[in-house]
Amino acid sequence: MTRSAELLPENVDSAVDLAGIPLRNPVLTASGTFGYGAEFSPFLDLTRIGGFVAKSLTLEPRFGNPPPRIAEAPSALLNAISLENVGVEAFVREKLPALPEGVTIIASIFETSIEGYGEVAKRLTGVPRVAGLEVNASCPHVEAGGIEFGQSPSVLAELVRTVRRSTDVPLLVKLSPNVTSISEMAKVCEAEGADGISLINAVQALEVDVETRRPVLANRLGGLSGPAIRPIALRMVWQAAQAVSIPICGIGGIASAEDAVKFLLCGATAVQVGTSNYLNPAVAGEIADGIVAYAARHGFAKVAELTGALLDPVGPPQS
């Protein structure tokens, strides 16, 4: 890779290719934090970012957990929404037409059985404007006693294999951080035909109200997201990037362009912004602009050249 002197931002090519999905820049918004896209249109031009991952979809409409199902934690958010959604048919019929042209849309899918995942994938295959699918592998597998699909290598392999056979669109698998070896899980996805992986999903956590002596969430356990988990996510992205050759979409506590660049340097091709959307609904656009500014300042003619550009901690910076 040949580095240039400092560039003007307008001279930087911001485009990246994520698992066969062309993006105008590497910034997506994360599933579950951006609704179905149209909700954020008053605050952000959706064509300003690379695209977004829609709220996870099931075969039928699904109601989530009873409240309280969201709470603050130090530098983080704790939630147990339980993937409430309108169902795949309503998404195709009502949500997609409401989006402006030129927006890249990745549909997130989940179910409580492997066969269900495959059926959701089939129903989204060939749907205009759905550029790719992201398999949420952090859901409880009812038939396996409630274990997350992404916690067992054999179950994850069967899941990815089934979905891969059900669709020919670009396929990302969103991995759970609640595992012993993220590298092993990444390798499983690659071996079963995934085009890329997204990581990490929320970290399983618990918070307690000492005055009431009760968990703060009705579900007791929830998913922890936000800046508190970013170093964990960075570590897992870096480890996965050493283990597989398929592209990675980095997720976890991204609140600024600097945060996003860290994920790119650690091996991510693109990133997803999640919890920060609640604080600033325009933040994804600001992050996209900031990445380009960083690339220009450091002499990278293409944002894609930032992927894996992390330097050895020992020795002088390399040119």
- Could you give the CA distance from residue 156 to residue 20 in angstroms, rounded to a whole number? 22
User: How many other β-carbons are positioned within 10 Å of the β-carbon of residue 268?
Assistant: 32
* Contacts for 184 with CB less than 8 Å, ≥ 6 apart: 153, 243
Q: Which of 235, 236, 279 is nearest to 256 (CA)?
A: 279
- Could you give the CA distance from residue 49 to residue 105 in angstroms, rounded to a whole number? 11
- Could you give the CA distance from residue 165 to residue 168 in angstroms, rounded to a whole number? 8
- Does residue 98 contact residue 44 with C-beta atoms inside 8 Å? no
Q: Which of 79, 117, 66 is nearest to 278 (CA)?
A: 79
- Could you give the CA distance from residue 273 to residue 219 in angstroms, rounded to a whole number? 25
* Active-site annotation holder among 139, 189, 249, 266: 139
Token pair 């996003």 is at which residue?
260
* Annotation marks residue 139 as catalytic: yes
- Does residue 157 contact residue 192 with C-beta atoms inside 8 Å? yes
- Does residue 50 contact residue 289 with C-beta atoms inside 8 Å? no
- Could you give the CA distance from residue 94 to residue 165 in angstroms, rounded to a whole number? 27
Q: Is the dihedral of CA 220, 223, 224, 229 positive or negative?
A: positive
Residues annotated catalytic, as ranges: 139
